[in-house]
Structure 1
Amino acid sequence: MKKLLVSFLFCSAGFAAVAQRGKVNSAEDALKSQDLTKAKADIDEALQNEKTKDDAKTWYVKGKVMEALATKDKSVPEAMEAFEAYQKALDKNPKMPEALLEMNNRMFNLYATVGNAGYANLNDQKWDSAYSNFQKAFEIARYYNGKNLSGSIPTDTSMTFYLGYAAQQAGQKDTALAYLQKAADLQFKGEPAMYVLLAQGYEEKGDNEKWLQAIEEGKKAFPKDKRFNDMEMIYYSKTGKTAELMSMLEKKAQENPNDFQTQLDYAIRVDNMANPRDEKGDDLPKPANYDELMSKAEAGYKKALELNAADPTANFQLGAMYFNRAVGFNKELNALSSKEQSSPKAKELQSKVEELMNTALPYFEKADAGFAAKGNLDNSDKQTYESCLYALQKIYAIKNETAKVDEVKKKLEGLQ
C-alpha cells in the first residue's frame, strides 16, 4: 500500500506540472485566437506555480501576451512588462529556439510601441514623458543589440534627435547635448533646429570651438536658413573676432543692396561695434577704428532710409547716432576747467554739440511721426519711441522751444 501511495503521489505531482505547462500552452492558443484576456489569465496562473514560474518558455509566452496587449492598447507600461518578460526568458535560456527565430521582430515591436508613444508625447508638448519614453525605447534597442541574437534594431537617427530635443525642453541639458551631438554625428539632416540647439548648448558651456562648429555645420546643411548667418555673427561678436564679424556684415549687406532690413541691421551692428557697452549698459572704451566704423554705420543708416524713408526705427537710429556723438562732445566740454570754458577748444566742442543736435533733430521728428502713426506699439517699439521722445525733449530744451518741450512731455505721459 505504501508503494502504491507513493506511486500515486508522484503521479499527482506529475499531473500538476503537466497541468501548469498546459496553462502555458493554453495561453499560447488563446493568443493565437486573439483572446488576450484568457491568454493573460492563463500565463499569470502558470507564473504562480512553483513548477513553471522559473521556466524560460513561461516567461517567453508572458512576453508574447504582453506584447500583443501593448500593441493593441498602445501602452508603454504593457510594452515594458513584455520587455521584462523577454529579458527573463533570455536570462534563463539565452539560446531559446523560438527567441532566435522571433525575438528580433518582437523586440522591434516593443521598441516601436514605446518610441511612437514618445512621438505622441512630443506632439502634445509633454516633454518629460517624451524624454522618458524615448529613453525606454533606446533601452530596449541597446539590450537586444547587445545579445548578439539574429538581427538587430537599427539606430534611429530621427529618434536620437528627438530624444535630445525632448531632453532639452525638459531641462536635461547635458543629456540633450549628448544626444543632439550623436544625431549630428549620425548625419541627421531632418531638422535645422538640431544645429541651433547644439550651438546654443555649446555656447552655454563656453565651448567656443564646438559652438562655431555647430553653426558652420548647420549653415552647410541648411544654406537657406538665415538663422545660422545671424548666429555666426553673434559668435564673432561675443568672442571678440571683430574682423571676421565685419567681413560677414559687409558681405551680407553687399549681397542684399535693396533689402531694407538687411541694410538697417548692418548699420545697427556696425554702430554697436563702434560703441561697445558692458552688460550693465555702461560705455566701454572705443575701438581704434571708431571713426571708420561710425562712417560705415552712418552710410548704412542712410542707405536703409533711401529704401524706406518713413521707417521710424531707421530714423531713430540715425538720429540717435548723431545725438550720442553730441552727448560725447558735451561731456568733454563739461570736463574742461572754468578757465578753459572760453578757450578755442571749448568753442569747437560747443559748435560740434550744436551741429550734431541739429542734424539729429529731423530724424527724431520723423521717428516721432512714424511711431505715432502706428498706434498700438509692441514693447520694443514703445521703448524705442520713449527714447526718441526723451531725446527730442532734450534738444527742444537746449533750443529753448518751450512749447515743443511741453508737447513731447504729454506724449511721454501718454506712453506710461
Structure 2
Amino acid sequence: MRRILAIIIFTSTIGWAFAQKNNVQSAANSFKYEEYGEAKKYIDLAAKHPKTANSAKMWYYRGRIYLSIHESGDTKLDADAIAKSVASLMTCLDVDKSKMHEDSSRLYLMNGAIKCFIEGVNKYKAKDYAKSSELYGLVLKALNYDKNKDLPRNNVSEKTIYLNLYYAASGAEDKVKSKEYLGKLIELNYNDPNIYRSMCQLLLEEKDTVGGLSYIEKGRERFYDDRDLIIEQVNLSIKMGKSDELLKRMSDDIEYDAGNSTLYLVRGILYEKKGDLEAAKKDYLEALELNPGYFIAAYNLGAMCYDAGAEILTAARDIVDNAKYAKEKEKAMALFKEGIPHLEAALEIDPTDDAAAQRLVRMYARTGDTDKYNALKAKREGK
C-alpha cells in the first residue's frame, strides 16, 4: 500500500512539474500565433510558480510577449507591458547561465529599453511623474546590459536618462530626488549651465544662500561667459553682502588678465548695481573693445542707458517749471540715443533676443524715430 501511495505521489509530482514547463511552451506557442492574451495567461502562471520562476526560457518569452503587447498598443491587455518586458529580459540575462538566450535577449532588451524611455517621456507629458520616473529607472538599469552602446546611439545616454529623471522629480516637486539627479548631471559634466542654476534655486528655497552661490561659481568655472550665471553670481553676492569682495576679486583678476572681456563685464555689472554708471559704462565698453561680438556687454550697456533715461523722465513728471522739465527731458533723450547703437549691436549679434528688441522699440518711440520703430515692430510681428 505504501509503495502504491509513493508511486502515486511521485507520478503526481512529475505531472505537476511538467504542467509548469508546459505553461512556458503553451505561452511560446500562443506567442508564435500572436495570441497575446493567451500567451500572457500562460507566461504569468509560469512566472509565479517556483518550478519555472528561475527559468531563463520563461523570462525570455515573458520579455518578448510583453514587448509585443506594448507594441500592439493594447493597453487593456496590460498597460504596464513595456516595464514588465524590460525587467523580464534583464532577469533572463541574469539567470541564463548557459547563455542560450543571451544574444537574442540583449537585442530585444535594447529595443524594449528605447521604447521604455519613450513611454517615460509620454508619462511625463501626461504628468504621471511617478510612473515616468519608474520607467526611466528601468532604462538606467538596462544600460548595464548594453555591451554595444546601442542606447547612446539612439539618443538614450546616461546623461539623457538622468536629465529626464530630474524633470520627473521636479514635476513631482521631489526636491531631494531633484538635487540627487542634478548632482549626478554635474558629476557627469552635462553640457548645460542651467543645471547649476537649478541646483542653486533648490538650495535658495532651503535658505542655503552660501550653497546656492557655490554652485553658481562651479557653473562659472565650466561656463565662464554664460549670461544668466554671471547675473546670478552678481545678484547673490550683493544679497550676501559680498559685492565689494567680488568687485575686488574682479579688479585683482583684471590686473593679471587685462585681455579678459568677461572680467570687465562682471565688474561693469557690479558697478551698475552699485549705481556707479560711469564706471559701469567704462567696463562695458572695454569688454566690447576686447570682444565686439559680446552680446551681454552690448545689451547691458544699451539697457543701462535706457533705464537711466526712463528714470529721469519718471522723476521729471513732478517738475512744474517748463524750462527745467525740458532740460531733464533732453538728458533722457541723450541717454536713449546713446543706448540705441548698443542695443542694435546686441540684436545684430542675437536677432532672437526679445528683451533687446522690446527695449529698442521703446527707445525708437521715445526718440521719434518712426521709420526704425515701424520696421522693427513689423519684423517682431512677422509682417
User: TM-score band, normalised by the shorter chain?
Assistant: 0.5 to 0.7
| Mapped partners of 2:209, 2:311: distance in 1 | 33
TM-score, structure 2 length as denominator? 0.56
Give the match's secondary structure for 2:217: helix
Structure 2 equivalent of residue 115 of structure 1: 117
User: Cα gap change, 1:320/1:157 in structure 2, threshold over 3 Å: closer, same or farther?
Assistant: closer
User: Cα gap change, 1:224/1:17 in structure 2, threshold over 3 Å: closer, same or farther?
Assistant: same
Opposite residue 237 of structure 2, the aligned amino acid is Y
Whether 1:212 aligns to 2:208 is: no
Opposite residue 24 of structure 2, the aligned amino acid is V
| Mapped partners of 2:58, 2:8: distance in 1 | 32
For 1:314-333, list aligned pairs within 5 A.
314=305, 317-318=308-309, 320=311
Give the match's secondary structure for 1:206: coil
Structure 2: gaps spanning 5 or more residues: 74-78, 152-156, 289-297, 339-354, 367-383
Report if the CA contact (8 A) 1:118-1:129 is conserved.
no
Structure 2 equivalent of residue 176 of structure 1: 178
Report if the CA contact (8 A) 1:62-1:82 is conserved.
no
Whether 1:71 aligns to 2:67 is: yes
Opposite residue 317 of structure 1, the aligned amino acid is A
For 1:224-373, list aligned pairs within 5 A.
224-246=225-247, 266=268, 270-274=271-275, 293=276, 296=279, 314=305, 317-318=308-309, 320=311, 359-364=327-332
Task: Please state how far the C-alpha of 1:179 moved relative to its aligned partner.
Answer: 0.9
Report if the CA contact (8 A) 1:111-1:140 is conserved.
yes
User: Cα gap change, 1:203/1:99 in structure 2, threshold over 3 Å: closer, same or farther?
Assistant: farther
| Residues matched between the structures, number | 314
| Mapped partners of 2:140, 2:307: distance in 1 | 59
Give the match's secondary structure for 2:49: coil
Structure 1 equivalent of residue 132 of structure 2: 133
For 1:60-99, list aligned pairs within 5 A.
61=57, 63-72=59-68, 73=70, 77-82=80-85, 97=97
Report if the CA contact (8 A) 2:23-2:43 is conserved.
yes
User: Cα gap change, 1:196/1:321 in structure 2, threshold over 3 Å: closer, same or farther?
Assistant: same
User: Cα gap change, 1:195/1:366 in structure 2, threshold over 3 Å: closer, same or farther?
Assistant: same
Structure 1: gaps spanning 5 or more residues: 275-292, 331-352, 371-376, 389-416
Structure 2 equivalent of residue 201 of structure 1: 202
Identity of aligned residues (%): 17
Structure of greater Rg: 1
Opposite residue 25 of structure 1, the aligned amino acid is Q
Q: Deviations over 1:176-222 (max 9, x none)?
A: 11210122123333x33222212222233333343233223323333
Task: Please state how far the C-alpha of 1:64 moved relative to its aligned partner.
Answer: 2.9
Opposite residue 240 of structure 2, the aligned amino acid is T
Provide the alpha-carbon RMSD of the alignment. Answer: 5.9
Which of 161, 164, 167 is the aligned partner of 1:162? 164
| Mapped partners of 2:88, 2:248: distance in 1 | 62
| Mapped partners of 1:302, 1:112: distance in 2 | 51
Report if the CA contact (8 A) 1:319-1:361 is conserved.
no
User: Cα gap change, 1:25/1:198 in structure 2, threshold over 3 Å: closer, same or farther?
Assistant: same
User: Cα gap change, 1:316/1:30 in structure 2, threshold over 3 Å: closer, same or farther?
Assistant: closer
User: Cα gap change, 1:44/1:118 in structure 2, threshold over 3 Å: closer, same or farther?
Assistant: closer
| Mapped partners of 1:218, 1:7: distance in 2 | 75
| Mapped partners of 2:114, 2:29: distance in 1 | 25
Q: Deviations over 1:352-372 (max 9, x none)?
A: x999867533134678999xx
